Amino acid sequence: MTGAGTAGSAGVYLRPAGVPDERADAVRAILTELWGGPVTVMPAGAASAAIAAALRAGGGLAFHSSGTTNASTCAVFDAATRRRHVAAVLATVGLTDDLTWCAMPAPGYAYGLSIVETHAAAGIEVTFLPRQDQARQLATFAATARWPLGLYLTPQALPVLLAAGLPAEAVRRVVVAGGRLSDAGARALTARFPGVDLTNMYG
């Protein structure tokens, strides 16, 4: 089930593959009433460019958390909340275009959606890695990218970064969300990439 498009859409619902049709229909009906207009429904597994295009209309947004740290839940935000979120992240993270940005979280869930929105607002390109064999994917990306890199990851993905075999000078910025990075994890990261600028957005 998909919406007819984003033109005139009051918002977007990112639907995970495991959500049955009847539940998705119920969610869309609720959101249509809440936002006062038609809702575009698209797969949470869609490509980041397609998600960014759907979000460009600037309406409401509903998505399911990935379930990485807790049971998956459906979160709903109106357009004004989205704008405040994007402004807060941009003010805190301080995106710069002197880095080659790469994201390990999936773009259709909470952390990934934040990355999609903030980079679109800042006009800075970001590449989302495929979900399979990410250590190899990251090594391949780094081999062809202009250094230094800015990386987004969850705490659970830190071992993947450390196992990718990137040169110490390849990574300048790491932004962690989706959980608290442990002290041991932070020490391992800074030992592997001396001088890295680390931001943990949890809490």
pLDDT of 6 strictly over 70? no
User: What is the CB-side half-sphere exposure of residue 12 using CA atoms within 13 A?
Assistant: 26
More confident residue, 16 or 6: 16
Q: How far apart are CA 101 and CA 164, in angstroms?
A: 16
Q: How far apart are CA 89 and CA 189, in angstroms?
A: 23
pLDDT of 2 strictly over 90? no
pLDDT of 148 strictly over 50? yes
pLDDT confidence tier of residue 108, bands split at 50, 70 and 90 = very high
Average pLDDT over residues 55-70: 82
How many Cβ atoms from other residues are within 10 Å of residue 83's Cβ? Answer: 14
pLDDT of 5 strictly over 50? no
Sign of CA dihedral 41, 44, 50, 51: positive
Phi, psi at residue 53, to the nearest 5°? -65, -40
How many Cβ atoms from other residues are within 10 Å of residue 41's Cβ? Answer: 22
pLDDT value at position 104?
A: 96
Distances (CA, A) of 143 to 34, 174, 178, 183: 47, 18, 27, 29
Asked whether the beta carbons of 96 and 48 are under 8 A apart, the reply is no
pLDDT of 100 strictly over 90? yes
Burial of 53 (0-12, 13-18, 19+ CB in 10 A): middle
pLDDT value at position 70?
A: 64
Percent residues over pLDDT 70 in the chain: 92
How many Cβ atoms from other residues are within 10 Å of residue 127's Cβ? Answer: 13
Average pLDDT, the chain: 90
Sign of CA dihedral 135, 138, 144, 150: negative
pLDDT value at position 9?
A: 82
pLDDT of 203 strictly over 70? no
pLDDT value at position 57?
A: 87
Instruction: Supply the DSSP symbol for 49.
Output: H
